[in-house]
Structure 1
Amino acid sequence: MDWRDDETLSTQIRAMSRRQRNQAAYLALRRLERPLVGIPMPESWGVEASVMNALLRSGEAQMDGEVNRELQQAVIDLHAAPLFQSEIEPEFAQSFQLEAINGWLMLGDALGELSEAQTDKVISLARELADYLDKYMENSLTVVAGEVDRERYLAGVDERFTSYGMGYFGTRNLVVEGACHEAILASSVNEELLSSVLGRQLLELCDEYSNEMTLALTAFPVD
C-alpha cells in the first residue's frame, strides 16, 4: 500500500477542530525541529539563531489556529535573511533544513484559516522527509550507526504502520504521528493539550525522533 494514497491517514485530520489541527501541524513540525537547531546553517544564509528561535517559540506559544502576530513577525524577520534573495545548492542535511523552514512558512500562512488540506500538507511534509531520508540511506554507501536497533524496531511495530513498506524513519514518524493524533482527538476541543503531562510526553516523543533524524543527517559527508 502506498501511504500517499491511503485516505485513512487523513481521516483523523477531518475529525479535528481548527485548534486541534494547529496542534497536529505543530507536532509534525516539532519532529523536524532538531535539524534546524542542531545542525549549523551556512553563514551565507544569514539566518540568525535569534530569528530561528523566535520562529520556533512563537509557533509553540499559540496553538489555537488563529492568526499569530508574533509568528508573522518572526516570518518577516526570517525573510530578511540573504537565504531568500539568492539561489543555493544545499547539501543533503541542508535540504532538510530548507524544507523544515518551508513547513513553518506554510503554517504561518495558513493560520486564521488552517483548513484540513493545509493541515494535511504540513503533516505530509514530515512524512515525505522521513521517507526521503530512508531512501537516501538505502542508496548511500555511508553507514549510519544504529542499523541493528532500527531493524529491531521495525520488527516490533504493529502491521498497520509497516504495511506501507516504508523504512525506519518513515515508519517511526507514522507511529509518533498516530500517537499524537490519537491524543489530540481524545482531548476536549478547547484543551491546551501540550501543557499537560500527556502533552509533554508527546513532545518528548517528537524530540527523540527528531534527534535521531539529526544524527542520521550528520552522518553523511559534506562536500
Structure 2
Amino acid sequence: MSARGSPVDWRDDEALTAQIRRMDRAQRHQAVFLALRRLQAPLVDIEMPGDWGVDPAAVDSLLRCGAARLDGEPDDAFRQALARLSRAPLFESEVDPELAESFQLEAIGGWLLVGEALGEMSEDQTDGIVLLARAQADHLDGCIDDTLMAVGDEGLRERWLAQAGSHLRAYGLGYFATRNLEVEGRCHEVVLAASAGGDLLASEAGRELLNMCDDYSSEVASALRAFPT
C-alpha cells in the first residue's frame, strides 16, 4: 500500500516508468521482447480457431525472427515474417474471442506494435507494450475472481501472494498481475545492467530471464486451459 493506505496504480507508477526512461533504444527493445515473451505460451501452446487461418509455422517464424535481433533496428526478416502472418484471414474478419483467444489476439497485436516501432522504439511505445502484459495479467485475475469455479490451484496462488514482497503487494493486485510485475522488475534490472552491445539472451542472466518469463507464461496458459467455457 502507499503511504495513504491506497493501492499504487500499476498503470501510472513513476517507479516503473523511470526504468524505461533510463533505457536506450536497444534496451527498450529487449524490455518489449521480454514483455511479449510473458504472453507467448497462450499463443503457441493453445490451438487457435481454424477459421482464423493462422499458420503455426508463420507464428513460429515471427517469434524466431523477433528473438534473433534485439537492437531495435529495422529488420527485413522480421518484417517479412510479420507480413506473412498478417495475410491470415483473421485480419480480414471480425471475431468474438473466448478468453484464451483474447490472449492470443493481444499477443499478436503486441508483435504488430513492435513492427511499427522498429527503428524508433520510443519510451511511449515501450511503455505501451509493457503495459499490455500487465493489463492481460490483471484481466486474467479479474476473470478468475468473477467465475464461481476453481481455476487451477487457487490455494497455491494465495500462499504465494501472502509471501510476496511488500513492494509488490502495494499494488493490491491478484496473483498473475503481481507475478508479472515481479518478473518485469527483474527483466528491467538485468536489461539496464547488461553491457552495451552484448547478446543479452546468450548470457547466464539473459537465460534466467527467459526461464522466468516462460515459467510465468506457462502458468497463464495453464490457467486459461483450466478456465470454464
Matched ranges for 1:91-170 at <5 A: 91-170=98-177
Partner of 2:18: 11
Which residue identity lines up with residue 84 of structure 1 in the other structure? F
1:32 aligns with 2:39: yes
1:82 aligns with 2:89: yes
CA distance in 1 between partners of 2:76 and 2:181 (Å): 31
**Percentage identity across paired residues of the two chains:** 55
The answer for unaligned runs of 5 or more in structure 1 is none
Deviations along 1:77-126, whole A, 9 cap, x unmatched? 11110000111111111011000100000011101000011011111100
CA distance in 2 between partners of 1:205 and 1:89 (Å): 31
1:219 aligns with 2:226: yes
Partner of 1:173: 180
1:72 aligns with 2:83: no
1:221 deviates by: 3.1
Which range moved further: 155-164 or 24-33? 155-164
1:184 deviates by: 0.8
TM-score by length of 1: 0.97
CA distance in 2 between partners of 1:2 and 1:12 (Å): 16
CA distance in 2 between partners of 1:68 and 1:131 (Å): 32
Partner of 2:3: none
Matched ranges for 1:41-52 at <5 A: 41-52=48-59
CA distance in 2 between partners of 1:93 and 1:79 (Å): 20
CA distance in 2 between partners of 1:119 and 1:69 (Å): 21
SS of 2:160's equivalent in the other structure is: helix
Q: Size of the alignment, in residue pairs?
A: 222
Which residue identity lines up with residue 50 of structure 2 in the other structure? E
Deviations along 1:167-207, whole A, 9 cap, x unmatched? 00000000000001001111122221111111111100000
Which residue identity lines up with residue 23 of structure 2 in the other structure? M
Matched ranges for 1:51-70 at <5 A: 51-70=58-77
**Preserved contact between residue 30 and residue 206 of structure 1 (Cα < 8 Å):** yes
TM-score by length of 2: 0.95
CA RMSD of aligned residues (A): 0.8
1:138 deviates by: 0.3
CA distance in 2 between partners of 1:36 and 1:196 (Å): 26
Partner of 1:199: 206
Structure 1 runs of 4+ with >6 Å offset: none
CA distance in 2 between partners of 1:169 and 1:70 (Å): 33
Which residue identity lines up with residue 148 of structure 2 in the other structure? L
